[in-house]
Structure 1
Amino acid sequence: MVMSNDKDLWVSWDEYNHAIVDLARMVHESNWQFDQVLCLARGGLRPGDVFSRIFDVPLAILSTSSYREEVGKVQGSLDIAKHITMTRGSLSGKVLLIDDLVDSGVTLEKVQTHLKENFPGVTEVRSAVIWCKACSSVRPDYYLQYLPNNPWIHQPFEEYDSLNPHQLSAWLKKGEPS
């Protein structure tokens, strides 16, 4: 197991899953009621799914992307999808915007502006993330962990970033006893 330090925060699957539920507890204890969850793909997909299930509200998905270079460690220009994916209707009412983390704050800020400009049925937006870095230009309404040293967060699903389809058999065997 790799140890976390001021530059790197290593997160296991157990820690990650527990953090999502702990963030849900925090939102619940605030007594704020929301009508829909809007998660930012890709980082907010897992937290958004869990929140949608726990709070029994519809899940909407908005794809955004800003990390493109050096295996996702250099921020490029932000792309926001034109459409939000949801099963019925349009995004409206009170919306909880969920992502895994806020780094520079650019994504959170621009998505909130995008929602105000393009979704008049939305009456209120609050944001929730697991990790909030000190370097962020904005603070989410809810965050589980404040990171004053702005470490790079190594999330458990990142192992899939370097896995190719032709490696799947070998990857599956690596955890099997000989």
Structure 2
Amino acid sequence: MIPRQSRYNRPNGPGNPEGTGYYVPMTTAYHADSSQLEDKEILTWEGFGEGTRQLAQRITDSGFEPEVIIAVARGGMIPAGALTYALGVKLTDAINVEFYTDVAETLPDPILLAPMLDTDSIRGRKLLLVDDVVDSGRTLALVLKLLRGFGADVRSAVIYSKPTTIVQPDFVWKHTDNWIVFPWSAQPPVNPAA
């Protein structure tokens, strides 16, 4: 297991390997309001279903057979779930990362959030790391480095890839320059009824 840290923004040191960001406890989730954006791509539930099937076919055709699918939470959780069914993979896990704070606004670096991934269960296994989008590529780079550091054979899959990424995912459904509105995050969180 990756050790949990009890304080925010704990620097690199024991239990926080260099280059893996900061481990922090849970934070409040945000909702990116993209209603004012003109250049955006809206993914529907139907489009998502078709896209994940096409992505699964690309993975299968490559010959890569993942043993475990790891979601980058939160955005990668629904795509990862769809891919577990499409690929027939039972074993799943998630790694919690925060980077975006609003539309086109990020933290200085991606940070890992508790609870942490059970790394003992992935040593030496074939992993498929799944996220919704790779934009700068910094989150993907952080998590790939972390997982490979535990001896895993890791490939990555995303629904969307942007040309600004520093890391090219192994499997991509679609390329775009626009902000993407996903069906699971299009609406703000539910508030208590009056």
TM-score of the aligned structures, taking structure 2 as reference length = 0.72
Tell me if structure 2 keeps the 8 A contact 1:6–1:151: no
Match of 1:65?
Answer: 98
CA RMSD of aligned residues (A): 2.2
SS at match of 2:111: strand
Q: Distance in 1 between matches of 2:136 and 2:193?
A: 35
Query: What amino acid sits opposite 1:110 in the alignment?
Result: L
Partner of 1:75: 106
Name the residue aligned to 2:165. Answer: 136
> Does structure 2 retain, via aligned residues, the 8 Å contact 1:97–1:127?
yes
- Aligned match of 1:161: 188
The runs of at least 4 aligned residues of structure 1 exceeding 3 Å deviation read none
The equivalences for 1:79-118 within 5 A come to 79-81=111-113, 83-84=116-117, 90-92=121-123, 93-117=125-149
- Contact 2:132/2:159 (CA < 8 Å) preserved in 1? yes
1:49-108 deviation per Cα after TM superposition (whole angstroms, max 9, x unaligned) = 12222323301111111112x4x541113111362159xx61131111111110000000
Distance of 1:15 and 1:133 partners within structure 2? 18
CA shift, 1:48, in A, is 1.1
Identity in percent: 26
Q: Name structure 1 gaps, 5 residues minimum.
A: 168-178
Q: 1:48: which partner in 2?
A: 80
CA deviations over 1:15-49 (Å, ceiling 9, x no partner): 12221121111111111112111111111101111
The answer on whether the counterparts of 1:60 and 1:84 sit within 8 Å (CA) in structure 2 is yes
1:156 maps to amino acid? P
Report the 3-state secondary structure (helix = DSSP H, G, I; strand = E; otherwise coil) of the residue aligned with 1:158: coil
Number of residue pairs the alignment of both structures matches: 154
Task: Supply the AA of the counterpart residue of 2:168.
Answer: R
Q: Which amino acid aligns with 1:37?
A: I
Aligned to 1:7: 39
Aligned partner letter, 1:133: K
Q: TM-score, with normalisation over the residues of structure 1?
A: 0.78
1:73 to 1:163, Cα distance in 2 relative to 1, 3 A: farther
Runs of 5+ in structure 2 lacking a partner? 1-36
